[in-house]
Structure 1
Amino acid sequence: MMKKQIFTAALALTISCSSIPLLPATFQTTEVAAATASVSQQAVNQKADQIIATGKSLIGKATYSNTQYKATAPYKFSCASFLMYIFEKNGVDLGTYNEDYMLQQGKAVAKSQLQKGDLVFFKSKKTGTDPDHVGIYIGNNKLLHMADSKQNIVITDMNSKPYYKDNYYAARRVLPSLMASNPASTGDKIVEKAFLHKNSAVIGSINAAAQKRFTAGGYVQYVLGQSGVKINTTVLSQQMKLGTTVSRNNLQKGDIVFFSSAKGSKNPTLVAVYAGEHRIIVPTKDGVITRVLLVDYYKDRFITAKRITK
């Protein structure tokens, strides 16, 4: 049986692994409004091939772990963190290493309509509504996935074993919805800039763009400015007064989302760039991270969101 992976960290880095209620037949979740991405099927196929190639390159090198994964060899992955890694290596950030939250991205797709790059979920436990395993579909009824501690990364025909035939749960198509449209919108450009400096920016108490050192508000000002959207303040409480207020259900790429470290407070202490499909890019003292708004920490501390784009 594939074991569900649970990761924990402190405070703003927390990933809540409590089950999110779903309706198994339709997967009714809060949909977030966004313009339909203009991405060709050829571009989708190319991106899927790149992701799959990265995953295949780790066969025989990466091993199973239900606690962590490392950015450099020796790689250690759970089923979900393996997918997060190979997608991110090809410029597509899932924002989570938790199957529950992956299940709420993209759109539902029937088993008979699977295409390369789709996420495929399995559920063997008889209680709850969250899956316990996920892999990436690579065509011809085959799945590339981190199976378990004995098999590690393998390619499996989904008709080869009872587990896959009996416990198939759902599939989600995250390509192209997690890809930038072509031509890129202003929101796409903001998200691209925010991701670009994810591994190089240092978040602290000063703003020195030349050294990639920023306050949280300074990071927001910088990535918006790099995308042609100028704002004249780095103070979160002042940034929160700019632009147009947007509800959580109508977020679009490039919107700025504000949170408080204390539940119920209207004093912003955390800010993020909305990246689409529930994902947020968050400058924190531990670096720029990506997360999903579905996580309890962010749901409980949401204050407001602003659209500052032109």
Structure 2
Amino acid sequence: MKKSNLLRTAGVTTAMSLMLTGVFAVPAFAATDDMDAVSIAKEMVGKDYNSGSATPSKGFDASGLISYVYKMTNYSLPSSLDAQFAMNKPLIKSLNDVKEGDVLFFGSGSKLNTAGIYIGDNKIILASKSDDEVITQTLTSSFKNDFKGARRVLSAMDQKRVKLVLDARKYLGTPYDFGAKYGQTKTFDCSSFMKTIFAQNGITLPRVSRDQALEGKYVSKSNLETGDLVFFTTKDSKGKIGHVGMYVGNGMMIHTYGEGGVKYSSINSDWWKDHYVTARHILN
């Protein structure tokens, strides 16, 4: 095993231990089949570069990473860069118009050299041959000069799911405050957090979790999708709904409750599993 892999393994083990004791408020995703494309791409950062490969265990090249990520979200993409660039998907010609989840292509002349998945904030995730692993790359001037175009792979619905997760992630660590005033973002309670995130995406929710549980359509726990609202009782809610979070895939939700404020938690952990009530599809 390469030295970088040994260091990476040690780092992951340490981070997992810290996370389990509540120090880290980040998810430990083991599966990817119900996550959004950007989150899956982020989970691949640090995986090996390997020409001709397209799996986390064997590594990725540029096109392999792209085909794998979208395969996990039920999109079938070609295996080569040239074929991916020629996909029958909307072509985005300006970097000013790209959105999270778009596939960006770079090259010189008529030759494509690499491609990556746009994750917002002027950054992409790509399998880098020079770095020998999957990395997060800021779009420097050299990348911008080599930009050949982007393909919009995700449906409008999946773009909404990506945006909800990314908007919610921005508030990780924001303090919990029961009854927090809606309209400010210095503190949240569970329902004001959800109301804020969905409002930022053009969707109006009621203020209270019990009322939010009447919105949208019922969805079973086994059929949850990223962006669904999940509801629970609490020790103070007397058997009624008293808590809400947003499902982000692989049994995880982002929510705010108690110490640590906005965080990721498993809906299948002892507490939340035992207090789960229902879930709702909000996105149409």
Q: TM-score, normalised by structure 2?
A: 0.49
Q: TM-score, normalised by structure 1?
A: 0.45
